[in-house]
Amino acid sequence: MKIFIVPGYGLPEDIFKDEAYLRYLKFVYEKISNFSNMHPGIKVTIIFSGGNSGLDKPYKRTEAQEMTKLFKKIYSGNKRWKIRLEKKSLSSLENQVFSKKIVEKIKDINGNISIFSDSSRVTRAKGTAKLIFGKVSIIPINLSSKIEHENQKLIAKKEKMALQVALWSLKSKANFDKSHKIYVDKFKMLRTAPKNRRKEAEIEWWKKSVETFKEEAAKYIK
């Protein structure tokens, strides 16, 4: 059995018209198809991971559900592919933690797990995946928006802090719950931002949050 974990990256109003998700899931489909063609005797489980990060009412959609709908429109179908949904996560760390609970119920994996990741998050993805899964491979794809490309220094700083906080979060349930609240607050803030300024609002949120992350990271790296 081969496991592919596909984390979500936000919820656009219409995922079927979102160029980033179309490119992302076509990339995912091609990678999985290539694997299946090279290993016809191995079954595949695809875990779409992502919770209720929608910024528009009624806030009921999940990234996992929306990605599955788009993926099924893109791919022609394969009897050796099984799709599972993880619908609780609000962060890259939670994508892995909650997907692990699904993985634990699957037999005959033998450490054969791959996780897709935005290129800017690869270091963080590897750092947490090693602790959560042990043996795992990361498949990078560049999903950064124009404004994220324009704020590379901030993104790099954010990634360093986010990895340290993620490692701290894995130390205990109490830490994990505090980390979860950071992202709950993030989405509450973004839901109040004007639609045409959400990405800018997220960048501003990160600028303010880096200092908070520093404090949390310091608790871990003492």
Convert the pLDDT of each residue in 92-134 to its tens digit: 999 999 999 999 998 777 658 999 999 888 999 999 999 999 8
**For residue 222, what pLDDT band results from cuts at 50, 70 and 90?**
very low
Q: 15 and 80: one domain?
A: yes
pLDDT at 219 over 50: yes
Convert the pLDDT of each residue in 30-85 to its tens digit: 999 999 999 988 889 999 999 998 888 888 899 999 999 999 998 877 778 999 99
If one counts every other C-beta atom within 10 angstroms of the C-beta of residue 169, the result is 25
- Of 125, 143, 161, the residue at which a domain comes to its end is 143
- Helices marked H in the chain: 19-38, 63-74, 92-103, 122-132, 146-149, 152-169, 173-190, 198-221
Q: 79 and 162: one domain?
A: no
Q: The domain containing residue 134 runs over which residues? A: 1-143
Convert the pLDDT of each residue in 2-23 to its tens digit: 999 999 998 888 999 999 999 9
The confidence score (pLDDT) of residue 25 equals 96
Q: 51 and 117: one domain?
A: yes
Query: How big is the CA angle at 112 (ends 109 and 114), to the nearest 5 degrees?
Result: 130
120 DSSP 8-state letter: G
**141, 118 contact by CB (below 8 A):** yes
Q: 36 and 101: one domain?
A: yes
Q: 118 and 164: one domain?
A: no
Alpha-carbon span 102 to 93, nearest angstrom: 15
Q: 177 and 200: one domain?
A: yes
What CATH number corresponds to the domain at position 4? 3.40.50.620
Q: 45 and 11: one domain?
A: yes
pLDDT top residue among 138 and 150: 138
Q: 97 and 35: one domain?
A: yes
The confidence score (pLDDT) of residue 149 equals 56
The confidence score (pLDDT) of residue 81 equals 92
Q: 75 and 100: one domain?
A: yes
Strand partners, 82: 45
* Number of folded domains that form the chain: 2
The confidence score (pLDDT) of residue 221 equals 45
